[in-house]
Chain A
């Protein structure tokens, strides 16, 4: 019996899959549709009733006859839906009778694609996407009169302006997503975006034009003149300059079946002449063959945030049930059982089932609205259907959740037996959930997925949310200290062993959520529908501002909106009413109350800022008063605060409220998009249809502890705001033969900055207690927040760095790439905690191999490679007498290429990326993020896009030579997209007074170089790169290497680890008493509060540098003597774990798991205590000397204010050097410090003025 039921279920599933797969190819049924007039604005009740007469013979009851609660709306069924209201239910007919079905056919409008719609089912089909574009508008109107293609006919008589505004709003156009993706990944150079989604009534891609031509004022408000349809991905050239190595020769068509073919006969491909090498760099133009824009495929084919308002929800898993257009929001679906998310609708479950009184609507079937009723009491669970993308929409953070990282509670989420999904299975899963890891995880099973949150009582590492839009899992974020210890509401530690720990620790939801808010309690009609103008940035299109409800330190709220998109004078919030008729806002006796838009019985009192800073007021809060009334200038630096000051340090015009009023921010440190050229998939936008090529979507490092600041664009008043890492991509591409033609390449933004994007944002994680304190942004008087300062100023902490598929080594006689992760997703580090759970079979094989890594590629060098650096497709190595050489490593993972690391992909005549020198000891680039400074020029960048210029150091690679000193070479040719001109030569050689004699290592900190030489540590200023200037020398005995973190440079020398204060580089000074004696300290790496020192025979020495002036050895790790010749070390983060890579001269590469849920329950902390264990290793042919640092993912700006990474939002940017200095330096260059608690008597009333 059990088996039988199973087989029936299976058959149903197969049938469903077949229909889904069929939707793209189903031939339309030819139909003649009766014209149906638009719904009238006015009619008599009798007229309206006639239009429902036949309908209600079957639909004998409904929830709201007109969907509207207002009985003043007089409509009949066919006014909105069309159809024939004269047809009545045949007397006595049952639902399966032919007569009943015949009447149904006559009365209803019929689809052109009955299979795709599963006609006559009334449930929204799964994953329908462009079906709405292909279907007849008459049928679209029948199934959803609120769809934007037809809403003019159904709703337009009364609501036309709001329909028009909605079409132009970001909710429909998604312009922010497309524009951001296009700009940040270098596809289009327009930061005032030009792309946006819109369709005509017939479902054809349309251009939207702003109703008025934007004046200068409107342009400054972020309003765009128009947005236009996105061209199909096949015709868009790749923005990135990754070289694609393809097969040449005549045998073409079979090699390029449909991939990137603007021309279907393939004639373009036939330009290739025979007799060429079998595999070579393509000379076909961009946009052909495999040379296409990966992010564009992603936009058009991979579920990211979409589908948005133009399409139905995918209606297949909790969190994905909704309709399209007006109905998408105003008809509520059951998506989430958590009352704080779904409000009064939580009781309807989370499987999209209806609770309508209409007897014809099946119950227990997903894909129906809860009721036939419009509402403005929209729960945030409905918003979450679209706003669920971790890095850039903030309903998750509002809920206190973040994307799950595949590691926490892995034993519950991964199958015990490794899954080997067939292609068919993989496709089916990926249609629902674009993350490739899902095809191996248990959560690919919808039945498992929808009950994930019921695992919570059993879980050890985290707690899951109850919604799963896109098939994703979201974990709760809890209050922790910097080490990762859970904290309760009083800030007291909660034991990791406490079975009630997740109940005792504070779940960092928004305080608004705790009070009972839903999104619609702050975001009113205009924020939802737009104001009629076309915008490109979400932040510019927001009407509401904190002060509108909370006021400021000096003013009570006016209840008038004042956000960037507010109309002049603001919207009068006191007029607003909830769906059930209550006034939303009301002053009573000096207190402001708001009534919930969703819960009928709930109101709350507003916190008024002015009360909180007014002594004697019952709401007075000294911490708030101190923060808001902190004086500016020297008085403030001394910690003095109080009313009456001329200017306040944290004034509203200087910074956004949420700069401090947030408990955490989300940071998505990168996503991997690996293109599969042979995966035929459907296009989710515009014309739809299937083509080959598909990219899965693989979040890599989503962290909750990163707090960074920058400056918002002018549309937000140029104020200081929190900045998040924002969807940085690394791209990979395979060709039709699944040869990896490039892997894990970070594109470059249109502005030439790195695409490791950042953006100012509003995190929606406000809390009352867990806000930011003084020492989160200023130097602490305890001297313990150097790493925090590096992070907050966006200089980076070297912790979330991305070490991908390969670890890159410099060795005595060669350079080498060792494969350290799986290629499949998740790209687990081989031997790691994640590896063990995601790939149990492969993990077992790895164990069986004695944890040796099997795959590596190398290239001989001209001498010992003492320093190496990877940037994009190029690998830089200082090779002693061999000089400095740049290797081409684009094909490092291409199985069609035998020599994966090469000197010259064309011929030695075609290029030369070698700087000969006497004894090149080290090479460094100002950033390891791919950049293209030459793109950032001209009026488009400087004026229209408001981009800062690159500092000239970014043109160069910096080389130390023990004999010649400092050598600079301009390496921009490697980023100009033209590989045939790759010649580099010396730009300058500098060794004034022989000061750099014996130079052996350099660290770049903005335009200062810290060079280890015989003389000690030499500080050289390269503000004018061609005229280096020695500015300081710190004498040290045998300085060997250094690492920089904000105000301190950590230097190894003959005696161990030294600390040099470089607050003002010109005044660099050795910190006395900070020495950590080590017998043989070599290279070192500082990641947040730990310095990892490759200490030769002592192995890896981990030094706690939380207080840089008082470092102490945390531990020494030599793996039982098997790690006893440590020469270099780097740290990276993969998913939730920190991993160290050690170059050991005698023992090769060692891969160390530093943290994991298993060995360090505090792994979510800012700097959890490392607990190293060796998880993998590989021998090297000659002693390993050096390692290339992983891609920086939290570094947007250098120590002297030079911008590195792209910032979303026009005019937004990281701080300049002067602005950075204001956080901690007096005008005379001496640092000042803060205390989080203040001291008695620091409250000063300023003199009366």
Chain B
């Protein structure tokens, strides 16, 4: 890791790449045409899948019927909880109109980029992810149109895992423009959890990555997406720490990057257990993504694994006031992550990698690393994803048994209020037996 951190050249490349990165849909300078433009029954609004088409053509139907981006994202803004949040925050507009809410619970490109059929109330709609269609809508239906051309014309490259992770995390974690602060939580917003692959599966996807897809858009590796997702999420939380604006709230740091349950439990609950070098009474940085990343780094940069762990430990310690400058620790870790992401872009994971990472996750759990809910939850989702990859590759002997064990793991993290590390560990113990095979 150290050599990565030191490579100025690499940083320069990274900087160039970041500048190259396509603008997120809401940043793009083109008109958003609205769901209705895509939703025609002759386009993406077909009730059934088309044979002989490169896409399913029923994307709108899937999205509209079962995807929470359509069904719930905007509608929750009308409920009592949202009204209460808006009132608590003293918003001048109702939740379903306030930018702070609809930026993520919907899609709010600037007014000049809203076409005549763009409807803010549609939740996270087609162009929120695929980018404003103005410049590619006509060309993407031309005979022989390629994915590259479409992307060149402004289609957001959701097939690129980094771009995808950036896109999803822009709301599911937040980014420089939209961010769920601790104040928002205090006003009543529920805790946010996210894991890119799990959430992609439960969305559910309105696409099928088949041969044809890969021919047009390149190979798709779910593990890579998961790994990149973890890295970007970790980056983003470190960015918050490092950002003098987002990272502070008056006298306090922005609390949302810390583990919620470190504070949010009854006084009678004396749950503290020793872990990664922190002591009782300190507030822990929410390291759930870093915990996952640890496994990824271990298999991807074995040489840097120890350094990475050390950086994470330093961060924790510095945050807890036990030595070192927290900002410096965060910066060092953050810098390294750019390189991690870059490497992950081209990384393919063998079955052995998956197994090792899974074993690492479970073992960390058994070792009590997930004493906090957030880590356990993230680990559970990661285990689910990795098991899923293994199963899909045919590398999991007893899929049913693994699923049953995984079910128990999920059960243990179902309710953050009732989370007990012991139960989680006992569930992990039974899952452990399926890892090797």
Residue B119, interface by CB 8 Å: yes
Closest B-chain residue to A575, C-beta based?
A: B64
In the assembled complex, which residues on chain B have CB atoms less than 8 Å from the CB atom of A577?
35-36, 39
Q: Is B37 an interface residue (CB 8 A)?
A: yes
A575 contacts which of B45, B118, B138, B140 (Cβ < 8 Å)?
Answer: B45
A420-460: which residues lie under 8 A (CB-CB) from chain B?
A: none
A373 to B137, CA, bound (A): 19
Question: What is the CA–CA distance of A587 and B61 in the complex, to the nearest angstrom?
Answer: 17
B219 CB–A CB distance under 8 Å: no
Q: State whether A74 touches B138 (Cβ < 8 A).
A: yes
* Stretch from A39-47, A394-402, A733-741 at the B interface: A39-47
Q: A43-B142, A72-B138, A581-B118 are in contact. Are A574 and B35 (CB under 8 A)?
A: no
Q: With both chains docked as a complex, state the minimum distance between the C-beta of B34 and any C-beta of chain A, in angstroms.
A: 4
User: Is B8 among interface residues, defined by CB-CB distance under 8 A?
Assistant: no
B143 proximal to A (CB < 8 A): yes
Contact pattern, B 219-253, Cβ under 8 Å of A = 1, otherwise 0: 00000000000000000000000000000000000
Contact among A158, A572, A579 for B42, CB-based, below 8 A: A158
**CB of A71 within 8 Å of the partner chain:** yes
Partner of A583, one of B33, B37, B45, B121: B121
Q: How far is the CA of A158 from the CA of B61 in the complex (A)?
A: 19
Contact pick for A159, options B37, B42, B119, B121, CB 8 Å? B42
Are A581 and B138 neighbours in the complex by a CB distance under 8 Å? no
Residues in B whose Cβ lies below 8 Å from that of A45: 138-139, 142
Minimal Cβ-Cβ distance residue in B for A45: B138
Provide the bound-state CA to CA distance between A709 and B134, in Å: 56
Report the minimum CB–CB distance from B134 to chain A (whole Å): 7
A42, B143: Cβ atoms closer than 8 Å: yes
A210 to chain B, nearest CB (A): 22
* Interface residues contributed by chain A, number (CB under 8 Å): 25
Instruction: Say whether A589 faces chain B, with CB atoms less than 8 Å apart.
Output: yes
The answer to whether B65 and A70 have CB atoms under 8 Å apart is: no
Q: In the docked arrangement, what's the CA distance between A811 and B190, Å?
A: 94
Query: Residue-by-residue, is A157-185 near B (CB-CB < 8 Å gives 1, otherwise 0)?
Result: 01100000000000000000000000000
The answer to whether B34 touches A581 (Cβ under 8 A) is yes
Which of B36-85 touch A at CB < 8 Å?
36-40, 42-43, 45, 47, 60-61, 64-65, 75, 78-80
A575:B37 contact, CB within 8 angstroms: no
B183 contacts partner chain A, Cβ-Cβ < 8 Å: no
CA distance A582 to B116 in the complex (A): 11
Q: Report whether B78 and A71 are in contact in the complex, using a CB–CB cutoff of 8 Å.
A: no
Enumerate A558-604 residues with CB–CB distance to B below 8 Å.
Answer: 572, 574-575, 577-583, 586-589
How far is it, in angstroms, between the C-alpha of A900 and the C-alpha of B142 when the chains are bound? 79
CB proximity of B318 to chain A, nearest CB, Å: 46
What chain B residues lie within 8 Å of A582 (beta carbons)? Answer: 36, 119, 121
The docked-state distance in angstroms from the alpha carbon of A707 to that of B213 is 62
> A70-B37, A577-B35 are contacts. A587–B75 as well, Cβ < 8 Å?
yes
In the assembled complex, how far is the CB of residue A543 from the closest CB belonging to chain B, in whole angstroms? 14
Asked whether any CB of chain B lies closer than 8 Å to the CB of A69, the reply is: yes
CA of A574 to CA of B143 in the docked complex: distance in angstroms? 32
Pairwise interchain contact A581-B35, C-beta atoms closer than 8 A: yes
| Inter-chain contact B43/A588, CB cutoff 8 Å | no
Closest chain-B Cβ to A44's Cβ sits at a distance in Å of 5
Q: Contact: A69 with B117, CB < 8 Å?
A: yes
Contact check, A583 vs B122: say whether CB atoms are below 8 A apart. Answer: yes
A42/B60 in contact, CB under 8 A: no
Given A71-B137, A581-B34, CB of A575 within 8 Å of CB of B61: yes
Contact of A581 among B37, B43, B141 (CB under 8 A): B37
Do most interface residues of chain B lie in helix, strand or loop, or is the interface mixed? loop
Residues of A within 8 A of B34 (CB): 581
Q: Do B143 and A44 touch (CB < 8 A)?
A: yes
Cβ-defined partner of B134 (8 Å) among A71, A579, A583? A71
Which has the most chain A C-beta neighbours within 10 Å: B64, B118, B134?
Answer: B64
State whether B65 touches A574 (Cβ < 8 A): yes
Most B C-beta atoms less than 10 A away, residue of A580, A581, A586: A581
Given A42-B142, A587-B75: A71 touches B33 (CB 8 Å cut-off): yes
Chain A, 33-92, CB within 8 A of any chain B CB: 42-45, 69-72, 74
Q: How far is the CB of B3 from chain A (nearest CB, A)?
A: 50
CA distance A74 to B43 in the complex (A): 13
* B139 touching A71, Cβ below 8 Å: no
A580-B141 in contact (CB<8A): no
Q: Do B78 and A588 touch (CB < 8 A)?
A: yes
Q: Which residue of B lies closest to A47 (CB)?
A: B142
Partner of A43, one of B36, B80, B122, B143: B143
Kindly state the separation between the CA atoms of A589 and B139 in the bound complex, as whole angstroms.
40
* B residues 115-165 touching A (CB-CB < 8 Å): 116-119, 121-122, 133-134, 137-143
Task: For residue A232, give the distance in angstroms from its CB to the closest CB of chain B.
Answer: 40
A575 and B78 alpha carbons, distance in the complex (Å): 20
CA distance A586 to B65 in the complex (A): 12
Q: Which residues of A contact B141 (CB under 8 A)?
A: 42, 72, 74
Contacts of B134 in A (CB 8 A): 71
A160 to chain B, nearest CB (A): 10
In the complex, A587 Cα to B78 Cα: how many Å? Answer: 10
A589 vs B76: C-alpha distance in the bound complex, in angstroms?
9
Pick from A72, A572, A582 the residue with the most CB of B within 10 Å: A72
Q: Which residues of A contact B133 (CB under 8 A)?
A: 71-72
| Complex-state Cα separation, A580 to B35, whole angstroms | 10
CB distance from B139 to the nearest CB of A (A): 7
A44 proximity list for chain B (CB < 8 A): 139, 142-143
**A69: B residues at CB distance < 8 A:** 37, 116-117
Which of A575, A579, A589 interacts with B60 by CB under 8 Å? A575
Known contacts A581-B34, A581-B35, A581-B118; A70/B64 CB under 8 A: no
Chain A residues contacting B119 (CB-CB under 8 Å) are 581-583
B75 (CB) vs chain A CBs: closest residue = A588
Q: A74-B138, A575-B65, A581-B34 are in contact. Are A589 and B79 (CB under 8 A)?
A: yes
B80 CB to nearest A CB, Å: 8
Q: Tell me the complex Cα distance, A123–B388, Å.
A: 65
Specify which chain B residues have a CB less than 8 angstroms from the CB of A581 in the assembled complex.
34-37, 116-119
**Closest chain A residue to B41, Cβ basis:** A525
- Tell me which residues from 380 to 430 in chain B have a Cβ below 8 Å from any Cβ of chain A: none
A442–chain B nearest beta-carbon distance, Å:
45
The reply to whether B121 and A572 form a contact with Cβ atoms under 8 Å apart is no
Q: In the docked arrangement, what's the CA distance between A365 and B401, Å?
A: 77
Contact assessment for A70 and B40 in the assembled complex, using a CB-CB cutoff below 8 Å: yes
Give the complex CA separation of A581 and B34 in angstroms: 7
Please give the distance in Å from B81's CB to the nearest CB on chain A. 11
Complex: chain B residue closest to A525, CB-CB = B41
B79 — nearest CB in chain A belongs to which residue? A589
Contacts of A72 in B (CB 8 A): 37-38, 40, 43, 133, 137-138, 140-141
B132, chain A: closest CB distance, angstroms: 12
Within the assembled complex, what's the spacing in Å between the Cα atoms of A581 and B121? 10
> In the complex the two chains form, what is the Cα distance from A159 to B41 in whole Å?
10
Choose among A43, A69, A70, A582 the residue with the greatest number of B CB atoms under 10 Å from its CB.
A70
A278 to chain B, nearest CB (A): 69
B44 CB to nearest A CB, Å: 10
- Given A42-B143, A71-B37, A586-B75, 5 new contacts (CB under 8 A): A42-B142, A158-B42, A578-B36, A587-B75, A589-B79
A-B contact pairs, 29 of them (CB 8 A): A42-B142, A42-B143, A44-B139, A45-B139, A45-B142, A69-B116, A70-B33, A70-B36, A70-B43, A70-B137, A71-B37, A72-B37, A72-B38, A72-B40, A72-B43, A72-B133, A72-B141, A575-B39, A575-B45, A575-B60, A575-B61, A577-B39, A581-B35, A581-B36, A581-B37, A581-B116, A582-B36, A582-B121, A588-B75
Chain A interface (Cβ < 8 Å from any Cβ of B): 42-45, 69-72, 74, 158-159, 572, 574-575, 577-583, 586-589
B residues contacting A by CB (< 8 A) are 33-40, 42-43, 45, 47, 60-61, 64-65, 75, 78-80, 116-119, 121-122, 133-134, 137-143
Please list the 7 inter-chain residue pairs (A to B) with the smallest Cβ-Cβ separation, ordered nearest first.
A581-B117, A581-B36, A581-B34, A42-B143, A72-B137, A44-B142, A588-B78
